[in-house]
Amino acid sequence: MNTSDAKRAIPDGDEAAALAPAAAPAPGELASPDAIVSPDAIAAAQASLARATDDGDPVILVMHASVGSGHRSAAYAIAEALENLGEQARTTPGRPDAAEDGAGDLPPELASLAARARVEVLDILDFGRIVFDGDATASMFTGWTRPFYDLTWRYTLTGRLLWGGGTIWAHVMYPKFVEFVRRVRPAAIVCTHITAANVAVSARMLTGLPFPILCVPTDYEAEGLWPHLHTDLFCVANEAMAETLRPRRVPDDRILITGIPASPAFSLDYDRAAARASFGLPEDKIVVLALAGAKLPRPYVHFREALDELLPFMHTLPNMHLVIVAGADGEYERRVRREVADYGLENATVLGYVNTMAELMEAADVVICKPGGLTVTECLCARAPMVLLGRAYGQEKANVRMLTGAGAAMAATTPRELLDTLRHISEHPASADAMLINASLLRRPHAAAAIARATFELIAKEPPDDAKLRAKHFLHFYWGRKPAHTR
């Protein structure tokens, strides 16, 4: 399978720009991140992967859930890294510079696995007994319900009473996935969403197959409903996340600090002057990039309102140039263009959908964004100082605490705070440089490659002789130790 076409279909940004519609994939091809997979396509993929298994080729499933675009972007970054390792093993064994991209030289047994592996990216929601819109469901937690979401994400089942895993997920909603796994017999399943992880654990319990399961949380803290006791490896962002897993009785040998996987495009070096010229941006001003376009507009209501209130004051920041990315929301783009014209702002630019977001970040000195896990990771990889805008809940609150605590970002809750922050950066540009230095603690641009290598290492190992890891439960709760990070 060739991921090059899919790579081009992957947008350069998580919540940075709205995803454009994509056609369903041909059988056996890696789908684009926004593809809607029909039951016939799932059946075709199942047959194709089963044939690969019959031929002795290891099949690796990378599972996400279409709840926003971050989990999907992470899944495709991992799939691309898996394919790249396979390509390296097939064409340039023993490549001396392999360690530079986080892959390292693969030993012969891993190189053989990588060369033969088939990789498939799938949305777990497509296998549901009831197929629902994950994006619409996510939008339910953006209005008056946000505090309840924060309560369940941060506190319920995240303190001492913890979830281990169980077959209930498959029995209630995902029996189709169990049959898919029984037919395909995957060599490993990598999960970038909590639902995918729990369903993978359910499927392994019911089928009795020995494949390893890797969990890759895409934020800077792990929710309490991840299947802690039945996961072979947690790939986490940093040591602070590892400290949230240890009290949950996840042993150290099942924790790997890799970083959060992002597209390699955000780690490339671009010519800043050329990038600014391509977008028509001035060379002699501080360019402030506001990422206001997304697949899910509803979570961005307050974000966009704050930018609306900022616009009339942009004339007080003459040495700054504001760039607002509206994404594929044409109505929002037209409205902001009218406002910029009405205010007579010469230091503001409005862009629609941008498919070269990494280059645009290179052109910027500061990025205003929501604290979504993949968005901030892309900014870290692109070495873009951040101002995190808006009241954060749930995982976004954890991201804000992590980034601001490390001095890697500034946060503004209200439009006035945002204006004050921009004035500070305008008067003291070195403050943005300080954020870059501090962000180096969190920056891990080769996370996807590290996760890909760990996947092949787990496949090559004998299944662990661990009754607790492989035990079958319908519901599994357990009592953990005192959380490492308590308020």
Q: 361-377: per-residue pLDDT in tens?
A: 999 999 999 999 999 99
Residue owning tokens 């101002």? 387
In this structure, of 64-73, 146-155, 466-475, the range with the lowest mean pLDDT score is: 146-155
The pLDDT assigned to 316 comes to: 96
Report, as an integer, the average pLDDT of 178-193: 95
Alpha helix stretches (DSSP H) within 367-414: 373-381, 394-405
Coil/strand/helix, residue 485:
coil
393 or 74, greater pLDDT? 74
The pLDDT assigned to 9 comes to: 34
Q: Which DSSP string corresponds to 228-270? A: GGG-SEEEESSHHHHHHHGGGT--GGGEEE------GGGGS--
d(CA 234, CA 165): 14
The answer, yes or no, to whether residue 223 has pLDDT greater than 60, is yes
The pLDDT assigned to 12 comes to: 40
Report, as an integer, the average pLDDT of 143-167: 69
Report, as an integer, the average pLDDT of 293-300: 65
The pLDDT assigned to 29 comes to: 41
d(CA 290, CA 307): 8
Backbone angles phi, psi at 400, to 5 degrees: -60, -45
The pLDDT assigned to 394 comes to: 78
- Tell me the two tokens of residue 409: 């970002």
Please say whether the beta carbons of 388 and 400 come within 8 A: yes
Question: Residue 337: which H helix or E strand, with range?
Answer: helix 330-343
Handedness of CA 37, 43, 48, 50 (dihedral sign): positive
Cross-strand pairs, 256: 235
The pLDDT assigned to 132 comes to: 64
d(CA 415, CA 34): 33
d(CA 294, CA 283): 27
Identify the band that residue 405 occupies on the pLDDT scale cut at 50, 70 and 90. Answer: very high
Identify the band that residue 68 occupies on the pLDDT scale cut at 50, 70 and 90. Answer: confident
In this structure, of 59-63, 183-187, 296-300, the range with the lowest mean pLDDT score is: 296-300
Largest CA distance in the chain: 70
Backbone angles phi, psi at 250, to 5 degrees: -90, 120
- Tell me the two tokens of residue 188: 């490993």
d(CA 378, CA 358): 8
- Tell me the two tokens of residue 312: 């009339």
pLDDT in tens, 37-47: 566 666 666 67
DSSP annotation of 223? -
d(CA 467, CA 463): 11
The pLDDT assigned to 42 comes to: 66
- Relative to beta strand 320-325, strand 286-291 is parallel
d(CA 224, CA 398): 13
- Average pLDDT over the chain reads 84
The pLDDT assigned to 306 comes to: 94
pLDDT in tens, 73-124: 999 999 999 999 999 888 865 554 444 444 456 788 888 889 999 999 999 9
What is the phi-psi region of residue 390: left when phi exceeds 0, alpha when psi lies from -120 to 50, beta otherwise? left
Please say whether the beta carbons of 119 and 279 come within 8 A: no
Please say whether the beta carbons of 219 and 398 come within 8 A: yes
* Number of Cβ atoms within 10 Å of the Cβ of 92: 11
Report the candidate in 325, 312, 321 with the shortest Cα–Cα distance to residue 365.
Answer: 321
Which amino acid is present at 165?
G
Please say whether the beta carbons of 234 and 251 come within 8 A: no
Identify the band that residue 5 occupies on the pLDDT scale cut at 50, 70 and 90. Answer: very low
Please classify residue 316 by burial: count the beta carbons closer than 10 Å to its beta carbon, then call 0-12 exposed, 13-18 middle and 19+ buried.
Answer: exposed
In this structure, of 21-35, 303-317, 344-358, 414-428, the range with the lowest mean pLDDT score is: 21-35
Which amino acid is present at 49?
L
The answer, yes or no, to whether residue 55 has pLDDT greater than 80, is no
d(CA 471, CA 338): 61
Beta strands in 269-313 (DSSP E): 286-291
d(CA 339, CA 312): 9
